[in-house]
């Protein structure tokens, strides 16, 4: 399957997560507790700090690399990561829109999201593509010969995703807090 189709699969799984999150009945107190813990984490990671940008980048990059490495295990990690992240984004977005406004949500997500979301989709699509090829290579001698090429190509997409995470972390650290104040 072409990489473009894997991107569509990744977008679809993320979309499923978004829809599930929108239609999941919220336990308001539980959701508010989760949001409060995110806010506490936000206080620990001081805005306008290079350490914060580095930590955000490392967290996001390690999640993509972890997903890629474990993708040969039935592609479970990228599938779960895509759907759960979509679900969390829609759940938190619902609360933020209720408590603040849609504008506040968009200002908080869009500046870094234009880099982070494509990075996430590109990286997870690479993980799905490589994982599927690794699984096929277990059962087909013909596919085994294609595995090194698949690994090389998907590592290029993973590298692109990691590069996109860099401006996302910088914007999330320096621009987003400034816009939200």
Model confidence band, residue 42 (pLDDT cutoffs 50, 70, 90)? low
Q: What pLDDT score does 54 carry?
A: 95
Does residue 170 have a pLDDT over 90? yes
Q: Over 80: is that where the pLDDT of 122 sits?
A: yes
Q: What is the pLDDT of residues 9-39, one digit of tens each?
A: 999 999 999 999 888 876 656 666 766 776 7
d(CA 105, CA 94): 9
* pLDDT at res. 67: 98
**pLDDT given at position 161:** 98
Q: How far apart are the first and last CA of the chain?
A: 46
CB 87 within 8 A of CB 17: yes
Q: What is residue 22's predicted lDDT score, i.e. its pLDDT?
A: 86
Task: Judge whether residue 158 has pLDDT over 70.
Answer: yes
| Closest by Cα among 118, 110, 112, 108 to 162 | 118
Give the pLDDT band (50/70/90) at residue 181: confident
User: 49-75: per-residue pLDDT in tens?
Assistant: 999 999 999 999 999 999 999 999 999
Instruction: State pLDDT tens for residues 88-99.
Output: 899 889 888 988
Residue 86 CB neighbour total at 10 angstroms? 22
Between 34 and 128, the higher pLDDT residue: 128
pLDDT digits (tens, 9 = 90+) for 99-119: 899 999 999 999 999 999 999
The answer to whether 165 touches 60, Cβ cutoff 8 Å, is yes
> Contacts for 146-152 with beta carbons within 8 Å, 24 or more apart?
none
Domain boundaries, the chain: 3-180
Cβ contacts of 157 within 8 Å, gap of 6 or more: 3, 122, 123, 125, 126, 129
Burial class (CB in 10 A: 0-12, 13-18, 19+), 119: buried
Long-range CB pairs of 112-116 (<8 Å, 24+ gap) are: 112/167, 112/168, 112/169, 112/171, 112/172, 112/175, 112/176, 113/168, 115/164, 115/165, 115/167, 115/168, 115/171, 116/60, 116/164, 116/165, 116/168, 116/172
* pLDDT at res. 130: 98
Q: At 41, is the pLDDT very low, low, confident or very high (cuts 50, 70, 90)?
A: low
């Amino acid at each position: 399957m072409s990489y473009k189709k894997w991107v569509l699969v990744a977008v679809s799984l993320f979309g499923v997560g978004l829809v599930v999150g929108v239609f999941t009945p919220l336990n308001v107190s539980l959701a508010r507790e989760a949001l409060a813990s995110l806010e506490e984490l936000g206080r620990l990671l001081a805005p306008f700090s290079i350490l914060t940008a580095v930590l955000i980048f490392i967290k996001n990059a390690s999640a993509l690399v972890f997903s890629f490495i474990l993708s040969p295990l039935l592609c479970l990690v990228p599938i779960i990561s895509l759907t759960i992240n979509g679900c969390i984004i829609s759940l938190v977005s619902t609360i933020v829109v209720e408590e603040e406004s849609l504008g506040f949500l968009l200002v908080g997500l869009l500046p870094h999201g234009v880099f982070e979301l494509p990075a996430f989709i590109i990286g997870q699509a690479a993980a799905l593509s490589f994982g599927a090829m690794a699984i096929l290579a277990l059962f087909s001698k013909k596919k085994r010969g294609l595995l090194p090429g698949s690994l090389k190509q998907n590592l290029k997409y993973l590298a692109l995703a990691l590069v996109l995470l860099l401006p996302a972390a910088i914007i999330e650290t320096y621009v987003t807090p400034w816009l939200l104040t």
